[in-house]
């Protein structure tokens, strides 16, 4: 079929998306692009060929979208993030393009098992956890909602490490995801920017010029993000570091090849590896270089794109919004200032006014140890001109404050970007607040705490600046791809017409509320859930050789391993249940399978110990015949987006048990509820809003509130007082601390429960947690009642679509409008 091009004079042939044309296209790619004889092709080569065939479809959408942005002078948002945890691209592209069934048929005709081919794809692990996955859900929603948008990130050569469990302990293996390079991303060799470090700042009268001592080249690769519905696709531009001018020709000509190459290697380290989210690693020079590398390349690109489209740099704030995903890319603020002042010749205040309109910032944590700061010395050495600019921003801000007259010196030093109390450090969060026009938290409770705690002083200065956008997740990946039986169930009961497709209008799930008491619908949903549990049970059997009963209650906690998330509290419940079953073996126990997954940062001692504890407890309990499968404990290694897609649909109960006030939002809570699991959670993060939507009968809430946690801390928290008055708790603490689960090394877990510190107040919440768990058991025994609760959860999750989050950002923060049908030329 000849396609009329949106660019006149450039008509072209695109494959019709029917199974036969697709089959031919795949074979064509195999022969002419990959140069492989289809008769000899491996599964992996079939995947590569199929991905190239799929890419033709999204590339076309992308070019049409881009042309529409240019022709209609659309205001654009650029989303800067150090992490994008995309998950597999292939099936996602097929579903969003609406060609999944055709590809499946094409593979049938080729005599290949389609599912096996799809399984060949590596997850690009370019993120740690929630923050990176949120960025990926947002890209999906931005394209689906036709928002003129582009993401910027780093194309790490090594993503998140692969986790193996050896003798119960985490072992990290490198993740060389690019070795599987499929050429799925478009290399853009014409998009290169030089990123400088070090060197000097020279004054020319009132003008300054930075001469970097070292330059690294940033090369662009575009990953195309297709929106659902196959109309719009936006780019995610990922930068890779290449040795710039530094390949030392002098060394080379002298015959000193290895010195020349060494310099090249050290520069290319910048995009070598993703840093784990680990406070002990903060302050690493290479991380600061990475942050500036992302920011400098991206801001240069944004400015170049703007000048190309509008010619006048002074209109930048009218046409462009730049969003900072946490403080990690906040150097974008001084970088844009530098470009506007030093390169474009704007006056300081003019440049500053542009910056404050362009930037907005999302905060993802309140925990003070996780707030980014950098030593002034290090910043001055790597980025001397930026440090100058930061000082100037600070002086400008503090002078304005002093001029108001109502702020004392103490207040002024608290809001200064430079922290003088810990050996002079740049507070990145402060810079983000001062340089942005909006600052948002990621769940209601988190946004409220943000203005009452870390940013309380700033909220007095800029009350209108702070706002909330509750996180969301994309139903395309988290239902349609992850849970085909639930997808069929929803299509059957809600319809699939364009107007009311729940994939695009997740609020339409509320219609399920009319069906939650219908016995036939409940039974049908029971089958949907069972199918997911059987699938997970098979995975566990094949991968770990552990057999679990799909009729047991599946109780799941999957997320990064961190003390504040309190996986250890979950373990304490398991041990307590174990004790009680042994004490009273003939009681009518509800069988449960406890499932964990998650990675610990490689240098995080306590988190790694918690993984080992889970595995030690699993070993003892799973092998204790007296337990008769009433408890099974499973730690599934190497948690990833793809694994989450298998695990989440199978949950009956999901554990969201962070100490109140510590989890900014959580997003797996939303994915679980959307897949019909019931929450066991504290009043923390988005749990609070989930409870609001589904009602207290369909959600198990326990533990102290933020106010109670605070009150306990103020009084002086005494974990021993809880241990003394609760014999169950005492027994559990003793067993874990004194070797019941590590007889070969009784002291192994002597430091895990910290009875004298217990910063995250496990002891204080233990009793309420245990009691609530038994309420959930009783509920689960009434299959109809439980299925109703699961359905109520699904029915009321519409709010937690990332489409709603993105609509909030567009309306309240970015002031961006979608492409209209008229502005977007259609593909047929």
Q: Which residues bind ligand 26Q (CB under 6 A)?
A: 128-131, 134, 275, 277, 281-282, 287, 364-365, 372, 442, 471, 663-667, 685
- Choose, from 667, 748, 779, 804, the residue flagged as catalytic: 667
Q: How far apart are CA 227 and CA 771, in angstroms?
A: 45
| Shortest CB 189 distance to ligand 26Q, Å | 30
Q: Quick check: helix, strand or coil at residue 205?
A: coil
Residue number with CB closer to ligand 26Q (149 or 428): 428
CA angle (266 as vertex; 263, 268 as ends), nearest 5: 110
Active site residue 560: yes
Nearest residue to 357 (alpha-carbon basis) of 401, 404, 394, 323: 323
Q: Give the DSSP letter string of 48-69.
A: HHHHHHHHHHHHHHHHHHHHHH
Residue number with CB closer to ligand 26Q (134 or 650): 134
In eight-state DSSP terms, residue 386 is H
CA angle (594 as vertex; 751, 527 as ends), nearest 5: 165
Task: Output b/e per residue, 191-209; b: 16+ Cβ within 10 A.
Answer: bebebbbebebeeeeeebe
| Shortest CB 111 distance to ligand 26Q, Å | 43
The pairing of strands 553-558 and 592-597 is parallel
- Choose, from 29, 671, 779, 804, the residue flagged as catalytic: 671
- Choose, from 338, 477, 560, 612, the residue flagged as catalytic: 560
Q: How far apart are CA 448 and CA 488, in angstroms?
A: 39
Q: How many CB atoms lie within 10 A of CB 708?
A: 16
329 close to 299: Cβ distance less than 8 angstroms: no
| Shortest CB 133 distance to ligand 26Q, Å | 8
| Shortest CB 128 distance to ligand 26Q, Å | 4
Residue number with CB closer to ligand 26Q (616 or 655): 655
The pairing of strands 438-441 and 359-362 is parallel
| Shortest CB 604 distance to ligand 26Q, Å | 12
| Shortest CB 394 distance to ligand 26Q, Å | 22
Q: How far apart are CA 448 and CA 363, in angstroms?
A: 12
| Shortest CB 659 distance to ligand 26Q, Å | 12
Residue number with CB closer to ligand 26Q (128 or 234): 128
Residue number with CB closer to ligand 26Q (296 or 667): 667
Q: How far apart are CA 104 and CA 97, in angstroms?
A: 14
| Shortest CB 183 distance to ligand 26Q, Å | 29
Residue number with CB closer to ligand 26Q (6 or 685): 685
| Shortest CB 467 distance to ligand 26Q, Å | 15
Number of residues assigned to the chain: 828
Q: How far apart are CA 220 and CA 152, in angstroms?
A: 10
Active site residue 730: no
Residue number, nearest CB to ligand 26Q: 130
- Assigned token pair, 801: 């679509």
Nearest residue to 191 (alpha-carbon basis) of 220, 167, 233: 220
| Shortest CB 277 distance to ligand 26Q, Å | 3
Residue 739 vs residues 519, 571, 746: alpha-carbon distances, Å? 48, 14, 4
**Sign for the pseudo-dihedral over CA of 97, 98, 104, 107:** negative
Residue number with CB closer to ligand 26Q (293 or 722): 293
- Choose, from 29, 69, 133, 559, the residue flagged as catalytic: 559
| Shortest CB 480 distance to ligand 26Q, Å | 22
Active site residue 671: yes
Residue number with CB closer to ligand 26Q (134 or 355): 134
594 close to 630: Cβ distance less than 8 angstroms: no
264 close to 252: Cβ distance less than 8 angstroms: no
Q: How many CB atoms lie within 10 A of CB 728?
A: 15
Active site residue 437: no
Q: Quick check: helix, strand or coil at residue 547?
A: coil
Find where tokens 């993030």 sit: 81
**Sign for the pseudo-dihedral over CA of 532, 538, 541, 546:** positive
Percent helix, percent strand, percent coil in the chain, to nearest 5: 50, 15, 35
Residue number with CB closer to ligand 26Q (292 or 578): 292
Q: How far apart are CA 375 and CA 378, in angstroms?
A: 5
Residue number with CB closer to ligand 26Q (141 or 217): 141
- Choose, from 133, 155, 162, 364, the residue flagged as catalytic: 364
Residue number with CB closer to ligand 26Q (667 or 740): 667
Name the β-bridge partners of 701.
681
Q: How far apart are CA 229 and CA 453, in angstroms?
A: 42
Which residues in 135-286 belong to E strands, given as ranges? 149-154, 162-166, 169-173, 186-197, 200-204, 207-211, 214-226, 233-243
| Shortest CB 688 distance to ligand 26Q, Å | 12
In eight-state DSSP terms, residue 188 is E
CA 746, chain centre distance (Å) = 38
CA 158, chain centre distance (Å) = 17
Active site residue 565: yes
- Choose, from 237, 323, 565, 577, the residue flagged as catalytic: 565
Residue number with CB closer to ligand 26Q (384 or 685): 685
Q: Which residues are catalytic?
A: 364, 559-560, 565, 667, 671
């Amino acid at each position: 079929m000849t396609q009329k091009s949106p660019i006149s004079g450039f008509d072209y042939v695109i494959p019709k998306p029917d199974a036969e044309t697709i089959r031919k296209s795949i074979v064509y790619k195999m022969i002419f692009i990959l140069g492989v004889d289809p008769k000899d092709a491996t599964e992996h080569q079939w995947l590569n060929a199929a991905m190239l065939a799929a890419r033709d479809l999204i590339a076309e959408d992308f070019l049409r979208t881009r042309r529409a942005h240019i022709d209609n002078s659309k205001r654009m948002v650029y989303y800067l993030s150090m992490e994008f945890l995309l998950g597999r691209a292939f099936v996602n592209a097929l579903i969003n393009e609406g060609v999944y069934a055709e590809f499946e048929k094409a593979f049938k005709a080729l005599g290949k098992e389609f599912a096996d081919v799809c399984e060949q794809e590596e997850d690009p692990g370019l993120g740690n956890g929630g923050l990176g996955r949120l960025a990926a859900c947002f890209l999906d929603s931005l394209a689906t909602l036709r928002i003129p948008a582009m993401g910027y990130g780093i194309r790490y050569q090594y993503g998140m490490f692969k986790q193996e469990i050896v003798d119960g302990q985490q072992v990290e293996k490198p993740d060389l995801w690019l070795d599987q390079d499929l050429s799925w991303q478009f290399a853009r060799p014409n998009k290169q920017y030089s990123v400088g470090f070090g060197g000097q700042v020279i004054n020319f009268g009132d003008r300054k010029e930075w001469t970097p001592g070292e330059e690294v080249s940033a090369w662009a690769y575009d990953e195309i993000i297709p929106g659902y519905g196959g109309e719009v696709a936006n780019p995610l531009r990922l930068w890779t570091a290449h040795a710039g001018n530094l390949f030392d020709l002098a060394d080379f000509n002298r015959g000193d090849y290895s010195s020349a190459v060494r310099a090249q290697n050290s520069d290319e380290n910048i995009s070598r590896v993703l840093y784990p989210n680990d406070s002990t690693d903060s302050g690493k020079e290479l991380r600061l270089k990475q942050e500036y590398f992302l920011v400098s390349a991206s801001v240069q690109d944004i400015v170049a794109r703007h000048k190309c489209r509008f010619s006048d740099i002074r209109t930048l704030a009218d046409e462009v919004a730049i969003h900072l995903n946490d403080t990690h890319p906040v150097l974008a603020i001084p970088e844009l200032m530098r470009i506007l002042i030093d390169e474009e010749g704007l006056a300081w205040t003019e440049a500053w006014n542009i910056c404050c309109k362009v930037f907005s910032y999302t905060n993802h944590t309140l925990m003070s140890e996780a707030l980014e700061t950098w030593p002034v010395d290090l910043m001055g050495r790597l980025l001397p001109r930026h440090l100058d600019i930061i000082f100037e921003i600070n002086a400008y801000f503090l002078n304005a404050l002093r001029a108001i007259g109502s702020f004392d010196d103490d207040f002024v030093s608290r809001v200064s970007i430079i922290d003088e109390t810990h050996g002079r450090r740049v507070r990145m969060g402060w810079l983000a607040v001062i340089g942005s026009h909006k600052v948002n938290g990621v769940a209601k409770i988190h946004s409220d705490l943000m203005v009452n705690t870390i940013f309380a002083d700033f909220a007095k200065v800029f009350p209108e600046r702070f706002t909330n956008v509750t996180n969301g997740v994309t139903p395309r990946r988290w239902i349609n791809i992850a849970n085909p039986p639930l997808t069929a169930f929803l299509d059957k009961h809600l319809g699939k017409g364009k107007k009311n497709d729940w994939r695009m209008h997740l609020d339409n799930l509320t219609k399920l509320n009319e069906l939650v008491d219908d016995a036939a619908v409940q039974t049908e949903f029971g089958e949907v859930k069972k199918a997911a549990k059987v699938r997970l049970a098979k995975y566990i059997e094949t991968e770990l050789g552990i057999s679990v009963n799909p009729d047991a209650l599946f109780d799941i906690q999957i997320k990064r391993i961190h003390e504040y998330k309190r996986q250890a509290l979950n373990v304490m419940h398991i041990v307590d249940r174990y004790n009680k079953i042994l004490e009273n073996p003939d009681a009518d126990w509800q069988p449960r399978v406890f499932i964990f997954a998650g990675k610990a940062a490689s240098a995080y001692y306590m988190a790694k110990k918690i993984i080992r504890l889970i595995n030690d407890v699993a070993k003892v309990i799973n092998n204790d015949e007296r337990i008769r499968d009433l408890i099974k404990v499973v730690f599934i290694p190497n948690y990833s987006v793809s694994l989450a897609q298998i695990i989440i649909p199978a949950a009956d109960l999901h554990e969201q048990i962070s100490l109140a006030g510590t989890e900014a939002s959580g997003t797996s809570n939303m994915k679980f509820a959307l897949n019909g699991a019931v929450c066991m959670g504290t009043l923390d993060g988005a749990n609070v809003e989930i409870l609001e939507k589904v009602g207290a009968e369909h959600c198990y809430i326990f533990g102290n509130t933020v106010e109670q946690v605070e009150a306990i801390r103020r009084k002086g928290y005494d974990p021993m007082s809880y241990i003394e008055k609760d014999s169950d708790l005492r027994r559990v603490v003793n067993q874990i601390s004194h070797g019941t689960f590590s007889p070969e090394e009784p002291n192994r877990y002597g430091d895990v429960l910290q009875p004298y510190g217990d910063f995250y107040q496990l002891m204080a919440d233990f009793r309420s947690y245990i009691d609530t768990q038994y309420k959930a058991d009783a509920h689960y025994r009434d299959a109809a009642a439980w299925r109703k609760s699961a359905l109520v959860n699904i029915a009321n999750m519409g709010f937690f679509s990332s489409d709603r989050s993105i609509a909030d950002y567009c309306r309240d923060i970015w002031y961006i409008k979608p492409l209209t049908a008229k502005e977007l030329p259609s593909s047929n």
